[in-house]
C-alpha cells in the first residue's frame, strides 16, 4: 500500500518536473521567437523601395548623422547650381534664383539684390549670355554647428563672341533646419559671401 503511494508520488513529481521543463522551454522558445521577429521587423523598416524608370530598387534608411557630409555638400552644390547657372531668359533666371534663395538666408538675397542693382541680369539677357558653374571641391568643417564651408568652382560666361572663364570661391556656414519640399536636405546657408571671382581665361570665337 505504502509502496503504491510512494510510486504515485514519484510519478507525480516526475510529471511536475517534466511540465516545468516544458513550460520553461516554451517560454525560452517564445522569447527567442519574439527577438527574431523584432530584428526582422527593424530590418524591414530600414528598407525603402524606390520606383524609378519603371524599376523597383531597394534603398536603406539610415540616421541623419551618418548622411550629414553627403547631404551638406549636396545642399551647397544645389545652391550654387541654381544661383550661378543662368540662361538669357528672365523666367528661367527668376526660377533658378528663387530655388537658390530657399536654401540660404538673407545674405544670398543681398548678393542677388546687389547683382540686380548693378544690372547683371539685364546684361545677361541683353548680351545673350549663358552662365555655367562647375564645382571643383567643397571644404566642410563638421566639428561643430553651424558647419563652416568653402566652395571652389569654375565659372563660365558663354557669349556669342567667346567664353570668359573665372575662378569662383565662396564661403559660408550651414545651419540645420527642418526639411521641406523646397529644402529637402534640411540645411540653411548663412553668412554666404563671394571671396574670389577673377578672370583666368578668355576664349574668342563663336558659340557652338
Is the pLDDT reported for residue 91 higher than 90?
Answer: yes
pLDDT band with cut points at 50, 70 and 90 for residue 161: confident
Q: What is the pLDDT of residue 42?
A: 58
Q: What is the mean pLDDT of the chain?
A: 84
Least confident of 15-19, 24-28, 47-51, 166-170: 47-51
Indicate if the alpha-carbon torsion angle 97, 100, 106, 110 is positive or negative: negative
Percent of the residues in the chain that have a pLDDT greater than 70, as a whole number: 75
N-to-C CA span, the chain: 115
Classified as helix, coil or strand, 145 is coil
Q: What is the pLDDT of residue 21?
A: 78
Q: What is the pLDDT of residue 3?
A: 52
Classified as helix, coil or strand, 182 is coil
Q: What is the pLDDT of residue 83?
A: 97
- 74 — phi, psi (to 5°)? -65, -35
Calculate mean pLDDT across residues 152-163.
93
**Residue 128: CB partners within 8 Å, gap ≥ 6?**
88, 159, 160
Quickly list DSSP for the chain: -HHHHHHHHHHHHHHHHHHHHHHHHHHHHHHHHHHHHHHHHHHHHTEEEEEETTEEEEEE---HHHHHHHHHHHHHHHHHHHHH-B-S-HHHHHHHHHHHHTTB-HHHHHHHHHHHHTTHHHHHHHTT-EEEEEEEEEEEE-SSSSEEEEEEEEEEEEETTEEEEEEEEEEEEEEE---BTTBTT-EEEEEEEEEEEEEEEEEES---
Calculate mean pLDDT across residues 6-35.
70
Q: What is the pLDDT of residue 152?
A: 98
Q: What is the pLDDT of residue 67?
A: 84
Higher pLDDT pick, 167 / 61: 167
Higher pLDDT pick, 59 / 205: 205
- pLDDT for 93-137, tens place per residue? 999 999 999 999 999 999 999 999 999 999 999 999 999 999 999
Amino acid at each position: 500500500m505504502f509502496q503504491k503511494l510512494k510510486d504515485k508520488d514519484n510519478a507525480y513529481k516526475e510529471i511536475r518536473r517534466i511540465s516545468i521543463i516544458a513550460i520553461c522551454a516554451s517560454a525560452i522558445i517564445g522569447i527567442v521567437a519574439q527577438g527574431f521577429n523584432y530584428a526582422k521587423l527593424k530590418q524591414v523598416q530600414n528598407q525603402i523601395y524606390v520606383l524609378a524608370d519603371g524599376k523597383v530598387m531597394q534603398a536603406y534608411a539610415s540616421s541623419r548623422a551618418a548622411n550629414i557630409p553627403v547631404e551638406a555638400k549636396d545642399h551647397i552644390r544645389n545652391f550654387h547650381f541654381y544661383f550661378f547657372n543662368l540662361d538669357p531668359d528672365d523666367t528661367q533666371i527668376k526660377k533658378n534664383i528663387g530655388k537658390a534663395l530657399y536654401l540660404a538666408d538673407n545674405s544670398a538675397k543681398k548678393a542677388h539684390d546687389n547683382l540686380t542693382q548693378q544690372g547683371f541680369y539685364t546684361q545677361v539677357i541683353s548680351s545673350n549670355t549663358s552662365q555655367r558653374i562647375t564645382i571643383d571641391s567643397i571644404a566642410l568643417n563638421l566639428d561643430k554647428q553651424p558647419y563652416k564651408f568653402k566652395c571652389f568652382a569654375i565659372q563660365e560666361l558663354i557669349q556669342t563672341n567667346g567664353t570668359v572663364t573665372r575662378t569662383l570661391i565662396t564661403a559660408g556656414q550651414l545651419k540645420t533646419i527642418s526639411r521641406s519640399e523646397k529644402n529637402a536636405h534640411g540645411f540653411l546657408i548663412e553668412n554666404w559671401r563671394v571671396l574670389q571671382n577673377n578672370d583666368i581665361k578668355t576664349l574668342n570665337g563663336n558659340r557652338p
